[in-house]
Amino acid sequence: MASAERLKNKDYEHELKSLHAELVKLQLWAKETGAKVCVLFEGRDGAGKGGVIKAIMERVSPRIFRVVALPPPTEREKSQMFIQRYIPHLPAAGEIMIFDRSWYNRVGVERVMGFCTEEQAKKFLMATPLVERAIVESGVILLKYWLEVSKEEQTRRMEGRIDDPRKVWKLSPMDVESYARWDDYSRARAEMIAATDTEWAPWYVAYSDDKRRTRLNIISHLLSQIPYAEVKREKVKLPKRGKDHGFEDHFAPRHVVPARF
């Protein structure tokens, strides 16, 4: 499903700049109106979730746009209702919460890797649409994205992590093991979407072999799903600096960062 021709970086940056301006408008609108937005990103390892989230966060305030990427559950959390540890991270008024993986871990990595039973997975699939209905009815705008990467592109990206010191942290033993279970993940993904793609919380699938197009398409779609409007603001005018009242600045720090570059 990827476009035959990769998007050139110049065109990508031009489009992304416009979308960043819209994301800032969304940020100001959410703060002004008290809107609550929750965005979930799911997909296989190497599907491009992190790149999309980074593109979203590049020009907005992390106090309003906040990323949630929870570590593995503690022993106490393992004994709770599975979705329970995610509930405190749902948005309050004026917040846009972005989940880098979410409660759908239960029927993704946990199911495929055997960290939960089939019975637990089935119960999750039955209960989740009801929980998400309650979330939406509480006033939260809930958006769910699945990034679909091809076998060939996933392999290319995973191999690219092996010798790249910037990306080696993305290649855990769990990632390597999950790579071998493509068909298991495909089966789990299909059942997950079939059971939880509801009218009030639909799944949106983005084919993600072309990273640049994927980021632009998702940000554009996200903006289209939220009824934000531009908030009127007075144009900022810098004031004159105050008088120094005889102060002379003889700043001489003891420790200075070396100018190596």
pLDDT tens digits, one per residue of 224-241? 999 999 999 889 999 988
Domain-located, residue 236: no
Indicate whether 198 belongs to any domain. Answer: yes
For the purposes of burial, counting CB atoms within 10 Å of the CB of 232, is it exposed (0-12), middle (13-18) or buried (19 or more)? exposed
CB 140 within 8 A of CB 38: yes
Is the pLDDT at 1 greater than 80, yes or no? no
Strands laid side by side in the 36-43 sheet: 65-68, 95-100, 36-43, 140-148, 203-207
Q: Which amino acid is at 221?
A: H
Quick one: pLDDT at residue 241? 82
pLDDT over 60 (residue 192): yes
Residue 122 lies in domain:
9-225
In a domain, 43, yes or no: yes
> If you compute the radius of gyration of the chain from its CA atoms, what whole number of angstroms results?
22
The confidence band for 248, taking pLDDT boundaries of 50, 70 and 90, is confident
**How many domains is the chain partitioned into structurally?**
1
Determine, yes or no, domain membership for 93.
yes
Percent of the chain with pLDDT over 70: 98
Rounded to an integer, the average pLDDT of 171-187 is 90
Instruction: Give pLDDT, residue 247.
Output: 81
Within-domain flag for 237: no
pLDDT for res 4: 59
Whole-angstrom distance, CA of residue 186 vs CA of residue 115: 17
Cα-flanking dihedrals φ and ψ of residue 41, to 5°? -120, 125
Residue 1 domain-assigned (yes or no): no
Host H or E run for residue 206: strand 203-207
> What is the mean predicted confidence (pLDDT) over 118-133?
96
CATH at residue 198: 3.40.50.300
The mean pLDDT value for 181-199 works out to 97
Q: Is residue 256 part of a domain?
A: no
Q: State whether residue 80 is helix, strand or coil.
A: coil
Closest listed residue to residue 217, CA positions, set 206, 227, 203:
206
* pLDDT tens per residue across span 18-47: 999 999 999 999 999 999 999 999 999 999
Structure tokens at 252: 């001489």
Q: CB–CB of 105/42 below 8 Å?
A: no
- How many other C-beta atoms can be found within 10 angstroms of the C-beta atom of residue 160? 13
For 74-79, what is the mean pLDDT? 92
Tell me the pTM: 0.92
Bridge partners, residue 203, by sequence: 144
Whether residue 171 is contained in a domain is answered as yes
Per-residue pLDDT, 39: 98
The pLDDT of residue 130 is above 60 = yes
